[in-house]
Structure 1
């Protein structure tokens, strides 16, 4: 089939804005537009990038043109579910593999799943699509699917899963909901998973007690971090440790939407404390930890997009704190934040239906 290319409705050379920051005025340029709920994006080596739309469409974008990529998995595009994250692994030049998280039909319900496929040479289709993982069991709700996928330094894959609105499930090791799982690239269980030998536990689970982690990234030392939604207040940034329990819904710094207290308070022995939490909630989504390539002053800082307040939060220091809020007329609801190969910071704006780049 001949690829169909669509002219993007912008000119990157003329549609630019500025954004104030602690390092002065920065330039914001629209790199792609016209998307319907862009959820995630990732860069391909040699130029171009992939963008997911929550309704199930994957786009390849390069040089002012985009085309739809065929062969994506069937998704349940309802509530917060749909086609979610996209990840291009380090060996893409040789493997051509692409990884996607999405909400998969499971009986009468749906669950978060991970698929892999090979992107053909003209970037128009995924072939050899395989489902590598799906949460068990499924759920009929439309909330809290997560989900991000991150390639660890050892080549294993981390996937973040929400608790699907069923709060107690996040403390139940028999279920995948409310956890970060770790698998090999072929879907098998890696050596060293903490609950692989525990009777009744799901062997993929790496950490649990999470509510709805929609941001996940490695820091410069290879440690895993997540950003996750609280309820009313209590959005958290957590450093993820092997086998650790992050407390939801037993402990939280937020409250139920009714105003009622959550669980047993803010701390309990055996449960981890967040490295940072927001109150009021910012509705955190995509997350990136910065290399310092373009702005050395920000090396190691954490950048998290806000769906509620239309800004990018920059977190820094030890203990971690919110150093500033990066906001412009183009930010809108931030779904994803990524560092490009040149060190510029890109973000997906759901409000703008666009992918934008921040530079000097």
Structure 2
């Protein structure tokens, strides 16, 4: 049984302009999150990007950053210098489509393999793609060698919205999870003969993982782990191994979901939000047969990313969820206790937050969306 969701109504209206007057470079310093309460962290600007979408740390601390237009950057951990990585695939760059997520493979230390997601154009329109390649850093410039596609979203559709294509590896390194948006189509999210509006679970080669809940049906259906999703743009395992997803609702009803095999999350049959233009959608209700979110937001905060904190630097936040809010222009922390959500905390940054990651030393790094595009590092205030 899932606990009842926490509905955080009116949260965006309550945000304050905590760092509207912050400097454009260097340390931004502590600021207030709401009222006269100080932030428990200091914020330092490290870099700026044009159209950032995702970032991932390599084992040595170097940072990979994707830009939606199709650029992959490698940023040196010591010097802060960055270079473009060659060999990146051609992407369909329009609207929400483009180069998406990036993650080092579980085998990266042995073979340098990284996984990427992007939007590809072909028969039927645009679809999300996942590929892998070897990141070669020796020589004059880094490059991707041997890029191969391991998964394609089915089917391609017209339009360039709701691709989702976030990536997560299982804690044991045996499986790849991919979030697949509903492509603004709605109804396919309830049709398990396709992978729109789903989270899929694959082998590292991109095949349907053995033991998936619909494996006996074959085809792309065998890839599906969960369905009934709208636009899940965050996908992350907690330190205890549970899988979580953050998802954009329509007008309101943004969600934080506990992702459990074989669950149907209800879209577009139920939502805590409303259709654009005022059309009503039934709210999640006990006994409706759908998995309800553990937390939801109305008005929308537009969660574009998710990180579950596992470090020691912010010891009180271990196991908590951090969501980058786009329309909410904030970093949102949700206190997680096992599979339930407690109180939330909103840190108003005054800019759209596109990505959130934990650094090897436990610092929290943020990427703001295009327009600002700052790379920020959060460390405990006053060295504490």
- What's the TM-score, normalizing by structure 1? 0.91
Of 104, 109, 114 in structure 2, the residue corresponding to residue 88 of structure 1 is 104
Q: Where do residues 135-154 of structure 1 align in structure 2 (5 Å cutoff)?
A: 135-154=153-172
Q: Is the 8 A contact 1:73 1:115 kept in 2?
A: no
- The match for 2:68 is 54
Runs of 4+ in 1 over 3 A off after TM superposition: 12-17, 19-25
Q: Is the 8 A contact 2:30 2:39 kept in 1?
A: no
State whether structure 2 residue 370 is matched by structure 1 residue 355: no
Post-superposition shift, 1:293?
1.0
- The match for 2:150 is 132
RMSD of equivalent CA atoms: 2.0
Deviations 1:141-166 (A, max 9, x none): 11100021001023210000110010
Of 44, 47, 50 in structure 2, the residue corresponding to residue 36 of structure 1 is 50
Post-superposition shift, 1:72?
1.0
Q: Is the 8 A contact 1:103 1:113 kept in 2?
A: yes
Of 344, 347, 351 in structure 2, the residue corresponding to residue 326 of structure 1 is 347
Tell me, in whole angstroms, the C-alpha distance in 2 between the residues paired with 1:249 and 1:81: 22
Q: Is the 8 A contact 2:26 2:45 kept in 1?
A: no
Tell me, in whole angstroms, the C-alpha distance in 2 between the residues paired with 1:14 and 1:209: 43
State whether structure 2 residue 46 is matched by structure 1 residue 27: no
State whether structure 2 residue 287 is matched by structure 1 residue 266: no
Question: 3-state DSSP class of the match of 2:109?
Answer: helix
- The match for 2:201 is 182
Post-superposition shift, 1:220?
1.4
Deviations 1:120-148 (A, max 9, x none): 03361000101000011100111100021
Q: Is the 8 A contact 1:173 1:200 kept in 2?
A: no
Question: 3-state DSSP class of the match of 2:213?
Answer: coil
Q: Is the 8 A contact 2:321 2:336 kept in 1?
A: no
Q: Which runs of 5+ in 2 are unaligned?
A: 1-23
Deviations 1:208-235 (A, max 9, x none): 0000000111011111100000000100
Q: Is the 8 A contact 2:154 2:220 kept in 1?
A: no
Tell me, in whole angstroms, the C-alpha distance in 2 between the residues paired with 1:249 and 1:24: 37
- The match for 2:361 is 342
- The match for 2:14 is none
Deviations 1:201-258 (A, max 9, x none): 6211110000000011101111110000000010011000111100000111100111
